[in-house]
């Protein structure tokens, strides 16, 4: 996590951080310690570290099977970040989450990386109206419908899912969506790819 210069935390902020920390589950306490301090413990970090976590615009949780892991175990939920309303870039890869519905509480997110998880739906992402890029490749997602009204998207990686159609990607995305990596998808018919390319002018790219 990048630690920019911040003014010292106020007494009220410290109280807020401590209350937030106490409400975290044991796995999430350990996760924050591993990604910020590189130590495996559930003890509360120093107040200045909590201050930086709270104000960070970006945070990365990469499980132990990731190419560049910063964790020794895998998380099964996103609950631990729901109070971080300054975060705009969220990397949560090589974990075990089945749902991203909690991200609906973080509408400020602009970049969402949730590849290599166990997702079968994108429900919740429709609340992220400022979202510019989403990477959910290597999951089990079946529908792109939750992306229908996210017209600021310039990059989508949805290869290696269980897509059978590209419904949800429409004329509203044309002109902005420049990087649409939807191939390979084993169950995606060729005519559907051709339809999107011909009717929308959006190139369906392969990784």
Instruction: Please report the pLDDT score of residue 204 as a whole number.
Output: 98
Instruction: Please report the pLDDT score of residue 2 as a whole number.
Output: 44
Q: How many CB atoms lie within 10 A of CB 136?
A: 25
pTM: 0.95
> Is the pLDDT score of 1 beyond 50?
no
> Is the pLDDT score of 59 beyond 80?
yes
pLDDT digits (tens, 9 = 90+) for 157-183: 999 999 999 999 999 999 999 999 999
Tell me the β-bridge partners of 93: 62
- Copy the structure tokens of residue 133: 């890029």
Burial of 199 (0-12, 13-18, 19+ CB in 10 A): exposed
> Model confidence at 3, in pLDDT bands (50, 70, 90)?
very low
> Is the pLDDT score of 95 beyond 90?
yes
pLDDT digits (tens, 9 = 90+) for 130-152: 999 999 999 999 999 999 999 99
> Is the pLDDT score of 118 beyond 70?
yes
- Domains in the chain, CATH or no CATH each: 8-55 (no CATH), 57-206 (3.80.10.10)
Is residue 34 classed as helix, strand or coil in its secondary structure? helix
Instruction: Please report the pLDDT score of residue 4 as a whole number.
Output: 53
């Amino acid at each position: 996590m990048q630690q920019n210069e911040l003014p010292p935390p106020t007494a009220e902020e410290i109280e807020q951080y401590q209350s937030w920390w106490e409400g975290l589950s044991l796995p999430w306490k350990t996760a924050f310690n591993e990604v910020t301090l590189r130590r495996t413990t559930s003890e509360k970090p120093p107040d200045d570290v909590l201050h930086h976590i709270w104000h960070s615009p970006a945070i990365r949780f990469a499980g132990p099977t990731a190419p560049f892991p910063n964790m020794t175990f895998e998380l099964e939920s996103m609950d631990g970040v729901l109070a971080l309303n300054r975060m705009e870039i969220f990397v949560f890869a090589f974990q075990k989450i089945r749902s991203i519905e909690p991200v609906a509480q973080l509408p400020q997110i602009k970049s969402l990386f949730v590849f290599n998880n166990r997702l079968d739906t994108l429900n919740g992402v429709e609340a992220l109206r400022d979202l510019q890029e989403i990477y959910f490749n290597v999951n089990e997602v079946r529908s792109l419908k939750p992306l229908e009204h996210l017209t600021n998207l310039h990059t989508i990686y949805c290869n290696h899912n269980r897509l059978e159609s590209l419904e949800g990607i429409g004329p509203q995305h044309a002109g902005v969506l420049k990087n649409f990596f939807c191939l390979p998808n084993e169950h995606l018919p060729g005519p559907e790819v051709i339809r999107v390319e011909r009717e929308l002018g959006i190139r369906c790219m392969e990784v």
